A and B are shown apart, each in its own frame.
Chain A
Amino acid sequence: MNILQQVKDPEIDSVSIVELGMVEQAEMNEGKAVIKLLPTFMGCPALEIIKANVEKALLADAEITMTDVDFLFSPPWTSDRVSEAGREKLKEFGIAPPPERLDDDGGWKVDCPYCNSPYTTMENIFGPTACRSILYCKQCKNPFEAMKPISTIM
Chain B
Amino acid sequence: MTVSSAAEVKDKNYKTALVELLYGLADDDFIIAYRGSEWLGLAPHIEEDVAFSSINQDTMGHAAMFYRLLEDLGEGEMNSLAHARGAEERRNAIILEEVNGPGTYLVEPDYDWAFAVVRNYFYAQSKKIKIESLKNSSYQPLADAAVKVNMELYYHLLHWKTWFSQLMNSNSEARKRMMNAVEKTAADFAGVLSLGELGEEMAKAGLIEGEEMLVMRWKNAVKPIFEACNLSLPELDMKRGNGRNKVHTSDLQQAIDVLSEVYNSDPAAAW
With A73-B144, A124-B51, A126-B51 as contacts: A152 and B61 at CB distance below 8 Å: no
A-side binding surface: helix, strand, loop or mixed?
loop
Binary contact track A136-154/B, C-beta < 8 Å → 1, others 0: 0000000000001011101
Question: In this assembly, does B155 line the interface, its C-beta being within 8 Å of a C-beta of chain A?
Answer: yes
Question: In this assembly, does A114 line the interface, its C-beta being within 8 Å of a C-beta of chain B?
Answer: no
Residue of A nearest to B157 (CB): A154
Within 8 Å CB of A134, what residues of B? 47, 50
Residues of B62-96 contacting chain A, CB below 8 A: 62, 64-65
How many pairs of A and B residues are in contact by the CB < 8 Å rule? 72
Within 8 Å CB of B54, what residues of A? 126-127, 130
Within 8 Å CB of A126, what residues of B? 50-52, 54-55, 155, 159
Is the pair B151, A43 in contact by a Cβ cutoff of 8 Å?
no
Q: For the complex, give the distance between the alpha carbons of A45 and B57 in Å.
A: 9
Within 8 Å CB of A41, what residues of B? 58, 61, 152
Q: For the complex, give the distance between the alpha carbons of A124 and B52 in Å.
A: 11
Q: For the complex, give the distance between the alpha carbons of A41 and B144 in Å.
A: 14
Closest CB in chain A relative to B61 CB, distance in Å: 3
A43 interface neighbour in B59, B144, B145, B158, Cβ under 8 Å: B59
Question: In this assembly, does B150 line the interface, its C-beta being within 8 Å of a C-beta of chain A?
Answer: yes
Binary contact track A118-135/B, C-beta < 8 Å → 1, others 0: 000001111110100010
Closest CB in chain B relative to A49 CB, distance in Å: 12
Question: In this assembly, does B154 line the interface, its C-beta being within 8 Å of a C-beta of chain A?
Answer: yes
Q: For the complex, give the distance between the alpha carbons of A48 and B57 in Å.
A: 15
With A43-B57, A127-B54 as contacts: A76 and B158 at CB distance below 8 Å: no
Can you list 14 A-B contacts with CB-CB less than 8 angstroms, sorted by A residue number? A42-B58, A42-B61, A43-B59, A43-B62, A45-B57, A73-B65, A74-B147, A76-B151, A124-B51, A126-B50, A126-B52, A126-B54, A150-B154, A152-B151
Contacts A42-B58, A151-B151, A154-B150 known; 15 new A-B pairs at CB < 8 A: A42-B61, A42-B62, A48-B271, A73-B141, A73-B147, A73-B148, A74-B144, A76-B147, A76-B151, A124-B51, A125-B159, A128-B50, A130-B58, A134-B47, A148-B155
Q: Residues of B at under 8 Å CB distance from A?
A: 47, 50-52, 54-55, 57-62, 64-65, 141, 144-145, 147-152, 154-155, 158-159, 271
